[in-house]
């Protein structure tokens, strides 16, 4: 006889167990090794080859999270997680994800959950206000900055009036070569968007950055002018506030001037850096962004909201809608024309109720609480940068505008880049093998850098100090 499917009372007891589990996990995560300690294939080997024929009790399934999966988890919620960008599954965020799953609404249309659509609009407006973006802009939540940027650039392509939506791009003699621009420090999602949108990798020009890794607006102006003279049609520029490697900030006002001169769409990738603008002293990082056509900010990076949650703002929702809206007969509603149907503003029809967790996060911390957390991270990064600068055998490799520090061990007399790389790989290897911290690396114009990115809710001075002590220990051999 088949096992009875889970009931609401079984759910209640499993959720009580899960609630205890989540709270205990947050308490103990700092004692677990931050980086998973398994070999490739080890977790898969511990899992049954085939799906169970009969249903299993929720309690047994939950028990297997600890037994089978936890050893293969890299703990992004660990206070020692300082690789890539540190992120947080905060208590209100966990609550929001849980309730969203229970509601399981799909806000593709306003009527398929008015509260989801209207909450999304209102929370995005709150955040626009907190980070200094115009509050009248349209905003929507997508899964990732990669999707947000692709959507923005699709809108830019449509706004060019080339009727690509209808006629496509292939075999069209009337279509000039199309071009987008970004810096050589931009995230790979910009290039991926160009691949997806049919411009190809050659349709993206990477403008060199200056010594502090910021796009050279003068070289952008030159490149665009040269392309125009050669018959190329410039469509869009993607500037970055907080680049992935060093968190440098492109000169958005100067870039906006170039865009205005040539009628190009300006998209700002503030996926990481945008959150910092909730701190009033950091507001300046968004200078010029109000002149953009679209901006992306990722609360799942540095606004304590669990993955996934990316905010796409645009001053030109009509162009975004023109790129994506396609309404089959079965999705028309009596309210059409009078409400926002979020399915009109992107590729996916269905959408998770992501606004719920973001709303809970913003309410639970408040604007001041969020600002205090972010200021704390910036302070920790500055402290680490100062410690690095105080050590003659260590070298800071980039300015520290946010909470990410790029540096390397550079003992006097060793100037061969391959040797420096080997030394610093060993430093990172030592830290990451220890289990108390996880840091990553990047390449800065041929120089291999250790990269420490502070962003987890629970990261405190002691965690940064542990990583730094481990590095110096490795360097001392
Ligand atoms: C500046 C920047 N933009 C975009 C992305 C892509 O973010 P997502 O993972 O949300 O697509 C990243 C990821 O780290 C990033 O650093």
Residue corresponding to tokens 């500055």: 382
Q: Which residues lie with the beta carbon below 6 Å from any ligand 1 atom?
A: 85, 144-146, 187, 189, 240, 242-244, 269, 271-272, 298, 310
Ligand 1: residue of 214, 244, 455 to mutate (most ligand atoms within 8 A of CB) is: 244
Return the ligand 1 atom nearest residue 85 CA: 14
The CA 146 to ligand 1 mean position distance, Å, reads: 6
The CA 187 to ligand 1 mean position distance, Å, reads: 6
The CA 374 to ligand 1 mean position distance, Å, reads: 18
Which residue, 181, 201, 183, is CA-closest to 191?
201
The CA 151 to ligand 1 mean position distance, Å, reads: 14
Return the ligand 1 atom nearest residue 308 CA: 10
* CATH placement of domain 363-476: 3.90.1150.170
Q: Assign a CATH topology to domain 105-352.
A: 3.40.640
Cα 113 from Cα 47, distance rounded (Å)? 38
Residue corresponding to tokens 């540096």: 407
Ligand 1: residue of 145, 209, 215, 402 to mutate (most ligand atoms within 8 A of CB) is: 145
Cα 58 from Cα 136, distance rounded (Å)? 46
Return the ligand 1 atom nearest residue 270 CA: 1
Q: Assign a CATH topology to domain 8-75.
A: dopa decarboxylase, N-terminal domain (1.20.1340)
What pLDDT does 7 receive?
Answer: 87
The CA 298 to ligand 1 mean position distance, Å, reads: 8
Ligand 1: residue of 148, 239, 298, 306 to mutate (most ligand atoms within 8 A of CB) is: 298
Same fold, 8-75 and 105-352: no
pTM: 0.96
Return the ligand 1 atom nearest residue 149 CA: 4
- 10-residue stretch averages of pLDDT, the chain, 477 residues long: 77 92 96 95 97 92 94 97 97 97 96 97 98 97 98 98 95 96 98 97 98 98 98 98 98 98 98 98 97 98 97 98 97 95 97 97 98 98 98 97 98 96 97 97 97 97 98 93
Return the ligand 1 atom nearest residue 144 CA: 10
The CA 409 to ligand 1 mean position distance, Å, reads: 27
What pLDDT does 2 receive?
Answer: 55
The CA 22 to ligand 1 mean position distance, Å, reads: 27
The CA 126 to ligand 1 mean position distance, Å, reads: 22
Closest residue by Cα to atom 15, ligand 1, is: 244
What pLDDT does 4 receive?
Answer: 78
Q: Where are the domains of the chain?
A: 8-75, 105-352, 363-476
Return the ligand 1 atom nearest residue 300 CA: 10
Closest residue by Cα to atom 9, ligand 1, is: 144
Closest residue by Cα to atom 14, ligand 1, is: 244
Ligand 1: residue of 82, 84, 146 to mutate (most ligand atoms within 8 A of CB) is: 146
What pLDDT does 29 receive?
Answer: 97
The CA 7 to ligand 1 mean position distance, Å, reads: 40
Ligand 1: residue of 152, 187, 250 to mutate (most ligand atoms within 8 A of CB) is: 187
Closest residue by Cα to atom 5, ligand 1, is: 145
The CA 182 to ligand 1 mean position distance, Å, reads: 14
Q: What angle do CA 369, 136, 214 make, to 5 degrees?
A: 70
The CA 269 to ligand 1 mean position distance, Å, reads: 8
């Amino acid at each position: 006889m088949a096992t009875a499917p889970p009931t609401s009372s079984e759910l209640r007891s499993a959720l009580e167990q899960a609630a205890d589990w989540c709270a205990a996990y947050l308490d103990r995560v700092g004692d677990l090794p931050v980086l998973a300690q398994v070999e490739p294939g080890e977790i898969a080997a511990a899992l049954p080859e085939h799906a169970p024929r009969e249903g299993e009790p929720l309690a047994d399934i939950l028990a297997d999270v600890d037994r089978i999966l936890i050893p293969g988890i890299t703990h992004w919620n660990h206070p020692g997680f300082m690789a890539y960008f540190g992120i947080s599954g905060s208590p209100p965020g966990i609550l929001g994800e849980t309730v969203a799953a229970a509601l399981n609404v799909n806000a593709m249309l306003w009527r398929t959950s008015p509260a989801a659509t209207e909450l999304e609009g209102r929370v995005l407006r709150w955040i626009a206000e907190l980070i200094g973006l115009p509050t009248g802009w349209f905003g929507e939540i997508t899964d990732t900055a990669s999707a947000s940027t692709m959507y923005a650039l699709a809108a830019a392509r449509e706004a060019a009036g080339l009727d690509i939506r209808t006629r496509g791009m292939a075999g069209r003699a009337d279509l000039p070569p199309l071009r987008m621009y970004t810096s050589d420090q931009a995230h790979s999602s910009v290039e991926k968007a160009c691949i997806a949108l049919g411009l190809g990798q050659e349709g993206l020009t990477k403008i060199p950055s200056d010594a502090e890794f910021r796009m050279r607006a003068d070289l952008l102006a030159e490149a665009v002018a040269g392309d125009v003279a050669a018959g190329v049609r410039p469509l869009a520029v993607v500037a970055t506030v907080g680049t992935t490697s060093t968190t440098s900030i492109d000169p958005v006002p100067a870039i906006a001037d170039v865009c205005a001169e040539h009628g190009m769409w300006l998209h700002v990738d503030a996926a990481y850096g945008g959150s910092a603008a909730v701190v009033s002293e950091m507001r300046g990082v968004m200078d010029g962004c109000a002149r953009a056509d679209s901006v992306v900010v990722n609360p799942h990076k540095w606004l304590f909201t669990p993955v996934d949650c990316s905010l796409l703002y645009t001053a030109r929702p009509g162009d975004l809608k023109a790129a994506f809206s396609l309404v089959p007969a079965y999705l028309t509603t009596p309210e059409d024309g009078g409400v926002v149907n979020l399915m009109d503003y992107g590729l996916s029809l269905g959408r998770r109720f992501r606004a719920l967790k973001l709303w809970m996060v913003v309410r639970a911390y408040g604007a001041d609480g969020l600002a205090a957390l972010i200021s704390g991270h910036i302070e920790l990064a500055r402290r680490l940068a100062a410690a690095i600068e105080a050590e003659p055998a260590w070298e800071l490799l980039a300015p520290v505008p946010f909470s990410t520090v790029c540096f390397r061990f550079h003992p006097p007399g060793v100037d061969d880049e391959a040797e420096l790389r080997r030394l610093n790989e060993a430093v990172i290897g030592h830290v990451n093998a220890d289990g108390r911290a996880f840091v990553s690396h990047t390449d800065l114009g041929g120089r291999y850098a250790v990269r420490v990115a502070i962003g987890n809710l629970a990261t405190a001075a002691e965690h940064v100090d542990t990583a730094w002590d481990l590095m110096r220990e490795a360097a001392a051999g």
